[in-house]
Amino acid sequence: MENNDSIWQKEKEKERRFRTLGQSIETDICIIGGGITGMSVAYYLSKEGKKVVVIEKDHIASKTSGGTTGKITSQHHLFYDYLIKSQNKEFAKKYLKANETAIQNIETIIQEENIDCDFERKSAFVWTKEVGKLAMIKTEVDAVKSLGMKAKFTNEIEVLGKIEGAIEFENQAQFHPVKYIHGLAKCILEKGGDIYENSKAIAYEKSKNGFVVTVEAEGKKQRISAQSVVVCTRYPIFNVPGFYFLKMYQELEYGMAIKTDVTLKGMYVSCEVPTISFRSYEEKGENYLLIVGNGHKTGQKTENNGFQVLENFAETYFPNGEIVYRWNAEDSIGLDKIPYIGEYSEIRENMYVATGFKKWGMTSSNVAANLITDKLMGRKNPYEEIFNSTRLEAIKNKEEMKNMLKEVGQSVIMPRMKGEKGKKYCAHLGCELTWNEVTKTWDCPCHGSRYERDGHLIEGPSVHSLEESENS
């Protein structure tokens, strides 16, 4: 797409821009990634008196954080029955509490720092129009209640006509994510931190006092010396150690905003596949409806136009709406559906990671920021065990692991064995790229790197554009 700005990014040229890293520097903590997670980590650590540096390869909030619906909720679709069955009830209870606490933490930051970001408390719903999915909704209601939280079953919501049923979480929230992130940025700078945009981390190495991160900025390479490193790039850009490319995959979702006269009291996501998530947003007297969904594994060929499903949904239920923005964004998902937050690897001290948020990054980012801050400050965090980033349980998901290895074999080994010419291969681990006709991008089916038509890198884990890897 020539223009892939979400409704949150439409005024981004008016927002503050940060300088590019122009020299080698030293800091206490180098944070790689300027989305909501990296900025939240930097905010909490700067409050602790730590000297922090955030480096972002594009602009802060320019990728997934700027393409979200901006829902702040502990309702991570129909997830708690799954957690109870795949883990246990105590695990699920901690996960729920961690995310409920995150909602309150975000509200506290907004109030204390006076961040104008359109924060509102609203109920969140997962709904279905299919009789066959009704039992799943009711089971989830019982699961959430068993964890000590109020959850309501209803067969009536304010839109969509007749539904079979829905689960409601009360007292959740929504906001403008880009305004919030820029509010965090202001606080970080006031507390002595630094933020550098158009500054891409491409490598790191151990040093006597910690780490040296190599940063590519305006065609030159600079070095950041730091005692600790936190990787907040949605999908980790360093393969070794950690081997996160064996434990996660990425999904591409589509989004659109329509101008409408509808104002919603709640936030909604469907139980059906393809999943549709929507909420309303008001700005300067204008009402908008944000519709996001129809996700698929990045690089996967699909039968439907990515935006067509959303457009059909809008035409059916909001026929008077005018489409004013269209965009796409990626999300990382762990094989066991639980985020990885904590040490990058058991053999890499003072290096941390936050990834695999499964499309629920608004609360997960705050959970991660508090957990990592506690680790760096030498404090025990009550949730560190359930988000243990070095766990191996994820790769025991044999079915998903088999699918991942099959795709790698098909994308890396087979084309080269056949001697195929004229193919494009990912600069990350060499997988064959697929062309996405909807977004006009080259997408990697193995680990989700994406490139523009000319080979320029859009999203990682790759840190190189195609022409760079071909010439190296």
pLDDT digits (tens, 9 = 90+) for 428-464: 989 999 999 888 999 999 999 999 999 999 999 999 9
Residue 16 has pLDDT above 90, yes or no: no
Strand ranges across the sheet with 434-436 = 434-436, 441-443, 450-452, 457-459
Torsion angles phi and psi, residue 439, rounded to 5? -90, -10
Residue 470 has pLDDT above 80, yes or no: no
Domains parsed from the chain with CATH numbers = 7-67+179-246+337-395 (3.50.50.60), 397-471 (no CATH)
User: Residue 418 — pLDDT band, cuts 50, 70, 90?
Assistant: very low
Predicted pLDDT at 242: 87
Predicted pLDDT at 14: 53
**β partners of residue 222:** 215
User: Residue 17 — pLDDT band, cuts 50, 70, 90?
Assistant: confident
Predicted pLDDT at 44: 98
Predicted pLDDT at 472: 45
Please report where in the chains the tokens 């009711």 appear, as a residue: 138
Q: What are the tokens at 201?
A: 């981390």
Predicted pLDDT at 306: 83
CB 50 within 8 A of CB 446: no
User: Residue 419 — pLDDT band, cuts 50, 70, 90?
Assistant: very low
For residue range 202-243, what is the model confidence (pLDDT) as tens digits? 999 999 999 999 999 999 999 999 999 999 999 999 998 888
For residue range 132-180, what is the model confidence (pLDDT) as tens digits? 999 999 999 999 999 999 999 999 999 999 999 999 999 999 999 999 9
- Spell out a b/e string for 266-299, using b for 16 or more CB atoms within 10 Å of the CB, else e: bbbbbbeebbbbbbbbeeeeebbbbbbbbbbbbb
Predicted pLDDT at 246: 87
Torsion angles phi and psi, residue 125, rounded to 5? -130, 140
- Averaged pLDDT for residues 96-124: 98
Q: What is the DSSP string of 111-155?
A: HHHT--S--EEEEEEEEE--GGGHHHHHHHHHHHHHTT---EEES
Residue 359 has pLDDT above 80, yes or no: yes
Strand 266-270 versus strand 200-207 pairing type: unpaired
The amino acid at residue 426 is C
Residue 413 has pLDDT above 90, yes or no: no
User: Residue 78 — pLDDT band, cuts 50, 70, 90?
Assistant: very high
Query: Would you give the distance in Å from CA 3 to the centre of its chain?
Result: 20
- Averaged pLDDT for residues 99-123: 98
Predicted pLDDT at 11: 62
Predicted pLDDT at 9: 85
Residue 417 has pLDDT above 50, yes or no: no
> Is 81 or 403 the better-scoring residue by pLDDT?
81
**Alpha-carbon gap, residue 307 to 292, rounded angstroms:** 9
- Averaged pLDDT for residues 401-414: 53
- Averaged pLDDT for residues 87-107: 98
Average pLDDT, the chain: 91
The residues, ordered by sequence, that sit 6+ positions from 468 with a Cβ below 8 Å of its Cβ are 427
- Averaged pLDDT for residues 318-325: 92
User: Residue 182 — pLDDT band, cuts 50, 70, 90?
Assistant: very high
- Averaged pLDDT for residues 192-205: 97
Query: Would you give the distance in Å from CA 227 to the centre of its chain?
Result: 26
CB 196 within 8 A of CB 55: yes
pTM, whole model, 2 decimals? 0.93
